[in-house]
Structure 1
Amino acid sequence: MATQGTAAKPAAAHERWVLAYEHGPARRRPPVGTRLPVGRSVEVGRERELSLGVEVTSDGISRVAVVVTATEAGWDLDLRNANGATLHAWGQPPQQISGHQSIAWPRVAIRFHNGQRFDQPHTSYHWVLLEADLLDITPAGPRPGSRTSSATVTPAPPGPLSRPQEDAVRMVFEPLLAWPPQVPAEPLQLKQVASRLGISEAGVRDRLGHAHDRALRLGLHHNVGLNNPEYLYVLVSNGYLAPPTGRNHRVALPWLE
């Protein structure tokens, strides 16, 4: 299972980043933004210091789409985009969000809707990425305050995934675990995974089956298919897959530093 601590982390791991990331049929803007110390805020939108919907043009993004504040526990969001937004916390199911939200997760993406259909060739996508290496992944999820039921007392968790098991899980769900996120994102077929790993489909099923069984012991309520991400979400929220930590995609905007 993934564990996190501050003792051996390099200085860069302590940084909080807010990044605007956009792509459309004709243009892709890399993730650009700024470090955001705890207690500071940044406004993001078509007419704000961190622009969204400008370089990849979209009038469907509000002048102020969101105000992001870094907090000790994570992030506070004041969502103002008129067309709405969807939360894509790494390794978790997407969910629509609005208003004021408190988020605690090491990798969070907010996809801002612009009035276009999600699945059309001309659609543009507009994201804010929130990155904080030292925030923990916990079973409470990225919106811990939104849970309405208390956790059930459970036995000691099962042991970590073996390397072959983790490799199989990461490969079958590779599009869902990509960072920055991909949309649309669908799991691979088991035969594709078998081909890429150089093993039989039965071998893939065996590896994924062990991972699925762990998810059942961790609280997954029913059996699901081996390329159904419901058990992935359980494994991630219980620390069985470490989140991405790469930083090479970040481009700092000097006027925000």
Structure 2
Amino acid sequence: MVPGALTIQSAIRLTSGYFIPHLGFGVGYGYGGAFVDPRSATKPCVLEAFKVGYRLIDTAQVYANEAEVGQAFRESGLKREEVFLSTKIYSASHGYESTLSAVDASLNRMGLDYVDLFLIHDASSGKKRRLDTYRALLDARNLGKIKSVGVSNYGVKHLEEIKEAGFDMPVVNQIELHPFCQQKDIVSYCQEHSIAIEAYCPILRGDMDHPVINELAKQYNRDRAQILLRWSLQRGFTPLPRSSKPERIRSNAQIFDFELSEDDMEKLNALDRGKAGSISWNPVDVP
């Protein structure tokens, strides 16, 4: 079966009114798995991703490659409105004034007037500082420096804090998501509150050797990463695969011309191990 009109250029409407692509490209090199120097890897990889058709690039201050993402965008020849650029503020920089400064620093490094999405990278700074950080991001949004505000690695408790504080709810929550770690309570909460879900580690950092995944790859004549990314898309997530290899960057985008059956989706759904299936830091339960 071939899905309707879904392509690499398709997008999801966020509650902020802006659109985020169905598929993104992550550039967190050096964080988990084999180390790749972000200073040398990022620009050529992002340029290749743009060439293939990716339009969502996900970086972070802690990745130390915001500048290279900005350079790749400028060299791509794409118009600003054609790309969706996202970054994050790490817990060590949380606080109201420090966040306002951090937003300006990210814009300067990337050479941009605005970013499409600014996320709180994690909730590890404690309730007061993360709420102060969120308020600062909303204020930066109101100044036109950010189009949309979201969070990452937020559990239900952290999302409820934002709601109880009376702030606009985040438009995105970026969490670890793959068949072995499905974070069902967070996903359910986000869906109930119209919070779009970005999936990091969607291809298990390359460690995909599992009988079910292997069986489906053979059945559909696809590689294992394509099976996992297709699962993520069909679950309604925005997966963020990363790779420093051009051939993998290309193949990871070739997931829009097939569809997993309901039965095969259920085979993957049945692999969930809860938090025990996590392969990343996944700090969704910090106090």
* Normalised-by-shorter TM-score class: 0.3 to 0.5
Greater share of helix: 2
User: Normalising by structure 2, what TM-score?
Assistant: 0.31
- Bigger Rg, which one: 1
User: Normalising by structure 1, what TM-score?
Assistant: 0.33
